[in-house]
Amino acid sequence: MKRAIYPGSFDPVTYGHLDIIRRSAPLVDELVIGVLNNNAKTPLFSVEERVKMLNEITRDMTNVIVVPFDGLLVEFAKKMDACMIVRGLRAITDFEYELQMAQTNHKLEPSVETVFLTTSLEYSYLSSTIVKEVAFYHGDISKFVPDVVRERIREKMNQKGECR
C-alpha cells in the first residue's frame, strides 16, 4: 500500500490545505493528514479540535485519515509506514524552507521521499495566520475556510474575547 503523509498544524485548516488534500489523495492508496502538536506555538485550536474539523471536511474522501502527532515528521512517517511526505508550496519563499526540510528529512530517513505540490493560484496568498487576522477584525473569511471551520473560528475567538 502506498501511503503518504500531509503534515501541518492546520490552525485552522483553509481552502488552500483542502486543495492540497484533494489533489494528493488520488495519488496514493491512503493519505494521512498529520496534525502537528507544536509546543513552540500557541494555537487557536487544540489538536483534538483540529483533528475533528479535518475529519468533518474530509469525510467524503474514503482514502484520507487524520492522525495527530508530535516529534519528528520522519519518525511519524515511519510509524505510519508512509513512503512519501506531501508538502504544498505557495511561493518561492516557501520553497527555500521546504527544500531544507526535505533534505534534512531525507538524510534522517532515506526511504521517505518528499513531494511538492504547488498550491492552486486562487489560494497562493492564503495562510492560517491571515485567516486568523481577518477573523480577529470581524472580516469575512468565508472565501478562505469551509463553513464549519468559519463557525468554529468565530466561536473560539468569541470565547477568548479575541474578536475586535
**pLDDT tens profile 85-98:** 999 999 888 899 99
Which DSSP symbol is given to 42?
-
Is pLDDT above 90 for 160?
no
Cell of 57: 471536511
pLDDT, average across residues 17-25: 97
Helix (H/G/I), strand (E/B), else coil: 150: helix
90 contacts 16 by C-beta, under 8 angstroms: yes
pLDDT, average across residues 90-112: 93
Q: Which amino acid is at 156?
A: K
142 annotated among ligand-binding-site residues: no
Is pLDDT above 80 for 161?
no
88 annotated among ligand-binding-site residues: yes
pTM of the full structure: 0.93
134 within a domain of the structure (yes/no): no
158 within a domain of the structure (yes/no): no
Q: Count of domains in the chain?
A: 1
143 within a domain of the structure (yes/no): no
List residues with catalytic annotation: 17, 41, 90, 128
127 within a domain of the structure (yes/no): no
Residue with cell 492522525: 67
Tell me the residue range of the domain where 111 lies: 3-122
77 contacts 85 by C-beta, under 8 angstroms: yes
Please give the pLDDT value at position 94: 86
15 annotated among ligand-binding-site residues: no
129 annotated among ligand-binding-site residues: yes
In terms of DSSP bridges, do strands 64-69 and 113-118 run parallel, antiparallel, or are they unpaired? unpaired
128 within a domain of the structure (yes/no): no
CATH code of the domain in which 33 resides: 3.40.50.620
